[in-house]
Structure 1
Amino acid sequence: MRSPLKPTAIAILVAALSACAVGPDYQSPARVADIRFTSPYQQAEQLQNWWLAFDDAALNQLIERALAENRTLAQARANVDRAYAVFRDTNNDVLPKGTLDAGYQASENATLSPDDNGVITRGYSTGASVSWDLDLFGKLRRASEAAQAQAQQADILWHDAQLQLISQVAINYGEYRGAQLRLVVAEQNLQILQQSRAIVQARLDAGMASEYELAQIDVQLHQVQASVPAYRVALLTADATLSALLAQRPGQLKLGAVPHLPELKQPVAIVEGENYLRYRADVASAERMLAARTADIGVATADLYPNLSVRGFLGFVSDPGLTLGTDTQSWSVAPSLSWQAGDLGSVKARIRAAKASSAMALAQFEQQVFNAMNDMELALGSYNLSREQQLSTELQWQASNKAVQIARERYIAGSGEFLELLDAERELLRSRDQLAQLQQQSFIRLVGIYRSFGGGIQLM
């Protein structure tokens, strides 16, 4: 009598073995040196709207169009769909697979028996074929873990592509407005110099000035005129870059001629104790790659052990008459066991390679954390120093403007030297242009703060 316990015991043994998965179980790093890391990645609430704080309608329109039309962002989105499709395909490998088959076969002399000489046999077969790799040691599950981590990485990179695109649009918008502003400043400087030249010319006509004084004022005038083409080139460059980001041809932007650089009405705030690393997509991406490389160790290690698979068929095999019934019913079960016992050296080499890849991924993750921390610190420090420089230059420009007025009045009255007026005007022109540069620089560095902190910075 067959014992009923044997099939049950076999099923329990198979289930127990199937629950095993060789290789290390992944644990996300919680700390790198003295830097605490929080996973998983969290998209900042402000990521999709932080630029609205500038209250600039043109900038809002540019970013909305870029998010809808940019091809690099569309590529990143398609990469997410592809990665999750690969994950679903890999994840299904742990389940039995089946196909429906129908075929026809004709043969002559099918055996070596003399009785079959000249005998032609024909027949049909139809039914379902089933195959199942039992995954006793978790090779397929580790492969699924790796595919899932890579799909999650693709999703994180898509969010990062949005942040980078928004930042690029904002930065190039600042460069566009900055070039406009410097162009306007140059034109205003030309007006000031032309007024001074008219004064010198009048004094020259009255015999109170020299040709040398007129030549000196002309030097400054032509110097400013020579800078205008450079500002126009910067304007064309920013226009072309913005157009590319918006997936449109250059020259179609309608941003208006008013040179205004966006400013915040409130300063940005760093929340004490907030772990901004969780908003950094590059850090989260490196962490997901570490998870995938760790799972690859299990995939390689599973080849040290045997692999059990089952193949089966259930259907009908009939003669040329294609009759289906109990007489033609057919089934088969074919378990098989395979083991790379003769190639264990290669298996162990693949395990060492997988471990080395995991170590590389860990080092990359740790370096990315240090890079992120320094990037955030540098962004904050650069912006604060830029603001200090801008405020000092504003005071310098105001003082220079007052000095020019006094020097011009004294020169007209005949109590002042021409060189004093020339030096005062030269300093005024320089401070006005420098102020325009610093306004542009401060805006770009402010955008850099949002990008460095993954859009997680809030307004006070």
Structure 2
Amino acid sequence: MNKLANKMLKTRLTISAVLVAAFLSGCASKIDTVSEQNAINEFVAKAAVAEQLTGVDETSWWKGLDSSQLNQLVTKALANNYDLKTSQLTLKSALARLGEQKAQYLPQGGIEIGAQRSGLGDVNSRQSSANLALDWQLDLFGRITALVDAANASAMSQAEQVRLLQIEVVSSVVKGFVSYQGNVEKQHIVALQIEALEQSIEVLQARVDEGVANELDLNRTMAQLRQQEALIPAIEYAKYRDLSTLAVLTGNLTQDVTLTNEQTVLEHEFTVSLSEPNNAIALRPDISRALYNFSQANSLSVAASKALLPDISLSGFAGVLSISSTELRDTQQQWQVAPQIQWSILSYPALLAQRDAQQFLSEAAYSDYQQVVLKAVSESELSLQLLVNQTQQKRFADERYEFANKAFLQAEAMYEEGQIPYLELLDARQDVLIAQENAVDSTISSLLAKVNAYQSFNGRWSYALSNTNK
């Protein structure tokens, strides 16, 4: 008897140890995202990116361009963009699936009411019943908890995908608007040059007819005119391309998008300023999404490990039965409670393979998470390098235009005094044209570099944007 008692005690202790171990491992099914976020903050702080841009809050940064047209386009895009709507609906689906998974904590079952009438020879029988049946999967080992954690991480990942799309939509709208206004300005410059060349051709043609000038000057001027006229179709296409981009972003057809000329945007003082540069990187949605993807993979890995343990469930029913009537008369009560343990021991090879596969996926997700963090820091640094580079190029382009314009005015005065031939005046004019176009291109590139910087340092303003649109 003592041996039997000792054996039973050891068995109970063993079972208790298994249950405790399973419970503790079940608690580890969810990644500590707060701890991981702190680690990201420390990593980003070591990189010391964009400290020189610390300043005012970057929330609604595009409003710094002071354009009501642009503000309306951004508002329409956030409300009407179809990719954004699709992602938001997918998020609602993920949240519904999370609710479905959480419901697995509760007993499952339903009500069954039935009646039947049968006959065998001359004997007829009637029967009716009404039952409430349930099946309750007890989450003693944490498998359901792990699946709930995985569903929650999937929903959070999709929420970050929505934020990613909002960043892309806002940035693309600003870029498209700036590009359109830049192309309008370039078209205006080319039109002025064409008008000046046409006036020169009239003068030269009269001088050639009088024998004062040769046809070389005339042909050179005609060549320059055709060169400028050839730029018009390309600029028209570029403008239409910008309108088409804005139309898709705002959920409209191209012909429904109308913009007025607003070249003051190109001249507006617009600088990049970040309230908390480190958080602007650490809170980026691509980093958060990679973290939630890792959390989901880890939770699924834990769930696969829990599948190796027994499933313990409790099923039962309660109801009434009438064996002489199809109308639930003269009923008798009936009930049943059936605890059940199911252990798929023979399926262990397949379950072990599934566990190993999911563990490798979890490791892969963590590796991808680390790569995303590193890539985000690198992308942010590159955006700053581009910003500095384009700022310098714009300064040089503006100075080049100033000197070219001074040279043209000097050449024009010298030509009127007969000190230089007309061809040199044409060369000076061509230099001004090229310098002016280059200055406009540099202005556009500089603005786009600033937009790109805000797009890279998007963590804080995208959170503010998401909270505004909830």
1:267 deviation in Å?
2.4
Identity of aligned residues (%): 26
Give yes or no for contact 1:296–1:354 (8 Å, CA) kept in 2: yes
SS of equivalent residue, structure 1 residue 269: coil
Structure 1 residue 21 displacement after superposition: 4.5
Quote the residue 1:401 is aligned against: 405
1:79 to 67, 84, 90: 90
Q: Does 1:315 align with 2:323?
A: no
Deviation for aligned residue 1:257:
3.3
Counterpart of 1:346 in structure 2 is: 350
Aligned-partner residue type, residue 397 of structure 2 = T
Alignment of 1:4-153 (within 5 A): 19-22=23-26, 25-28=30-33, 29=36, 30-31=38-39, 35-36=43-44, 49-106=60-117, 120-153=124-157
Choose the corresponding residue for 2:273, options 269, 279, 288. Answer: 269
Provide the secondary structure at the position in 2 that maps to 1:265. Answer: coil
Q: Secondary structure at the match of 2:392?
A: helix
What are the superposed Cα offsets for residues 130-152 of structure 1, whole Å, 9 maximum, x if unpaired?
Answer: 11001221111100000000101
1:280 correspondence with 2:281: no
1:425-456 Cα offsets, whole Å, 9 max, x none, are: 22111111111212221222211111111164
**1:437 and 2:447 correspond:** no
Q: Report the CA distance between 1:253 and its aligned residue.
A: 2.1
- Residue 257 (structure 2) pairs with residue 253 (structure 1): yes
Q: Indicate conservation of the 8 Å contact 1:86/1:147, yes or no.
A: yes
Q: Which residue of 1 aligns with 2:381?
A: 377
Letter in 2 for 1:70: N
Aligned partners of 1:451 and 1:249: how far apart in 2?
26
Report the 3-state secondary structure (helix = DSSP H, G, I; strand = E; otherwise coil) of the residue aligned with 1:329: strand
Match of 2:304 among 279, 283, 300: 300
Deviation of 1:27 (Å): 3.3
Q: Which amino acid aligns with 2:97?
A: V
RMSD: 2.9
Task: Report the CA distance shift for 1:224/1:271 in structure 2 as closer, same or farther (over 3 A).
Answer: same
Distance 1:82 1:290, change over 3 A: same
Aligned partner of 2:334 in structure 1 is: 330
Amino acid at match of 2:299: A
| Paired letter, 1:382 | L
Flag structure 2 segments of 5+ consecutive residues without an equivalent.
1-11, 47-55, 463-470
- In 2, the alpha carbon distance for the partners of 1:454 and 1:262 equals 23
State the partner residue of 2:450: 446
Letter in 2 for 1:377: E
Separation in 2 of the partners of 1:308 and 1:263? 71
C-alpha offsets along residues 126-178 of structure 1, whole Å, 9 cap, x if unaligned? Answer: 13111100122111110000000010111111122111111111111112112
Q: Residues 408-423 of structure 1: matches in 2 within 5 Å?
A: 408-423=412-427
Deviates more, 1:365-374 or 1:97-106: 97-106
Cα 1:156/1:301, change in 2 over 3 Å: same
For the pair 1:221 / 2:225, whether they are aligned, the reply is: yes
Query: Do the aligned residues in 2 keep the contact of 1:400 with 1:428 (CA within 8 Å)?
Result: yes
Corresponding residue of 1:5? none
Shift, 1:106, TM fit:
4.5
**3-state SS, counterpart of residue 261 of structure 1:** helix
Query: Could you say if the C-alpha distance between residues 455 and 53 of structure 1 is closer, same or farther in structure 2, counting changes exceeding 3 Å?
Result: farther
Report if the CA contact (8 A) 1:243-1:250 is conserved: yes
Q: 1:129 aligns to what SS in structure 2?
A: strand
Tell me if the contact between 1:56 and 1:262 (Cα under 8 Å) persists in the aligned partners.
Answer: no
Q: Distance in 2 between matches of 1:77 and 1:209?
A: 70
The letter for the 2-side match of 1:249 is L
Query: In the alignment, is the contact (CA less than 8 A) between 1:261 and 1:439 conserved in 2?
Result: no
TM-score by length of 1: 0.87
- State the secondary structure of the residue aligned to 2:255: coil
Is the 1:403–1:424 Cα contact (8 Å) retained in structure 2? Answer: yes
Partners of 1:32 and 1:366 within 8 A in 2? no
Tell me: CA distance 1:86–1:24, structure 2 relative to 1, closer, same or farther (3 Å).
Answer: closer
| CA-CA distance at 1:413 after TM superposition | 2.0
- Total equivalences in the alignment: 435
Q: If the length of structure 2 is used for normalisation, what is the TM-score?
A: 0.85
Provide, for residues 18-55 of structure 1, a one-character-per-residue CA deviation record: whole Å limited to 9, x for no partner. Answer: 855446552343547982499xxxxxx97862211111
In the alignment, residue 175 of structure 1 is paired with which amino acid? S
Deviates more, 1:66-75 or 1:253-262: 253-262
- 3-state SS, counterpart of residue 211 of structure 2: coil
Structure 1 Cα separation of the partners of residues 380 and 453 of structure 2: 7
Contact 1:263–1:443 (8 Å) recurs in 2: no
Please tell me the residue identity of whatever aligns with 2:443.
Q
Separation (CA, whole Å) in 1 of partners of 2:412 and 2:210:
17
Cα distance in structure 2, aligned partners of 1:326 and 1:107: 18
1:196 to 200, 208, 223: 200
- Maintained 8 Å contact 1:145/1:292: yes
Give, as a single letter, the amino acid of the residue that structure 2 aligns with 1:222: R
Q: How does 1:150-229 map to 2 (within 5 A)?
A: 150-229=154-233
Question: Residues 331 and 18 from structure 1, CA distance in 2 versus in 1: closer, same or farther, beyond 3 angstroms?
Answer: farther
Instruction: Select between 259-268 and 345-354 the one with higher mean Cα deviation.
Output: 259-268
Query: 1:178 touches 1:261 (CA, 8 Å); kept in 2?
Result: no
- Summarize the Cα distance change of 1:258–1:27 in structure 2 as closer, same or farther, 3 Å threshold: closer
Provide the secondary structure at the position in 2 that maps to 1:304. coil
Counterpart Cα distance in 2 of 1:296 and 1:118: 60
